[in-house]
Amino acid sequence: MKTDVKLTSMVKTSGCAAKLPPEKLHRVIDNLPLMKSDKLLEGFESADDALVYSVTDDIVSVQTVDFFPPMVDDPFIFGEIAAANALSDVYAMGGEPAVAMNLLCFPSCLELDVMDKILRGGIQKVKEAGAVIAGGHTIADPTPKYGLCVTGYMKKNDVWSNSGAEVGDVVVLTKALGVGIVNTAAKGGEASQESIDAAVDSMTRLNREARDKARKYTVHAATDVTGFSLAGHSQECASGSGVTIEFDMGSIPVIEGALELARFGLIPEGRYTNEDYLFDKVRFEEGIPQEMIDLAYDPQTSGGLLLFMPEADARAFADEMDRPYCKVVGRVVPKADRDVIFKA
């Protein structure tokens, strides 16, 4: 028998907002022994989006894993979003996803029709990416969770890292911010259908097009914006590159309705844990409204790419993308008193 189920009622936190707070995470992983190999070119110590492992002299594998609880009630759309989010880490390295494996935690109280729809959503998005799903692992769990372990392949010299930003680069963001705020409001029945639709469109959109078009230009560094927010992921890039990143708050694209929802206090918990971790690494100029600060710390699910490029290339790329949410949002300057500075 098929039953209607409200997936978001079964979770406390959803999407990438469910990530462990960065302060707690780093308290553990920063003290772990590093497992070294001549073939391991990028590991977790660099805070990059995926590991890079040498296969031949010229070819590397790019591997990542990501899963989370639902942020929407429709199980098929949840599967699409979770898959798009996991695939994004390979795109953020400049890679091409090739093969994936499912990771599914499924409550025994739910009908198997729900599981079927989640997995079919994942298949749909992986097929769109030109990759294949080959098995996976499923366990019984009171809280539904879904994601993928993804492997891609690429030429070693084509890998984008998050630590190559250069002074003079400008910063391009390829998706609007605010999906964490909208998802929080939607769970409480406070978001408009227009805002929900815009957030779902953003979360289900692969970063494949942005990766494909950016490959035509010079990209010095790249990452994607997910649970640690625009502030958090850009801080990792700034720290790894030894520079400061300045953002123009007026240029940052925003999901429809997100700022109004933030003004009403509909903020995900992850926004505050992100700020707690970054309080001495990020600075906001006076005059920036509180809702824009909330936006900068908002945990994104299946967010856009953040690309660091020479200015002429960045503007040509943004013009070629020809989408209102793909914008030049900042620039790279010499190291200052903070890793990231948001300017009014």
pLDDT digits (tens, 9 = 90+) for 165-207: 999 999 999 999 999 999 999 998 999 999 999 999 999 999 9
Please check the confidence at residue 248 and state whether its pLDDT lies above 50.
Answer: yes
DSSP string for residues in 123-160: HHHHHHTT-EEEEEEEEE-SS-EEEEEEEEEEEGGG--
- Domains of the chain (ranges; CATH) run 7-158 (3.30.1330.10), 170-343 (3.90.650.10)
16 is a catalytic site residue = yes
Q: Which of 16, 149, 237, 326 is catalytic?
A: 16
Residue 59 in contact with residue 156, Cβ under 8 Å? yes
pLDDT single digits (tens) 249-304: 999 999 999 999 999 999 999 999 999 999 999 999 999 999 999 999 999 999 99
Instruction: Please indicate, yes or no, whether the overall pTM of this predicted structure exceeds 0.85.
Output: yes
How far apart CA 273 and CA 271 sit, in angstroms, is 6
Calculate ∠ Cα 318-321-325, nearest 5°.
Answer: 75
Contact assessment for residue 208 and residue 129, using Cβ atoms and an 8 Å cutoff: yes
Edge-first strand order for the sheet with 305-309 is 221-224, 305-309, 170-173, 327-333, 244-248, 340-343, 282-284
**End-to-end C-alpha distance for the chain, whole angstroms:** 55
Query: Residue 284: beta bridge partners?
Result: 342
Q: How far is CA 271 from each of CA 5, 21, 280, 294, rounded to the nearest angstrom?
A: 28, 10, 16, 7
Alpha-carbon span 135 to 188, nearest angstrom: 35
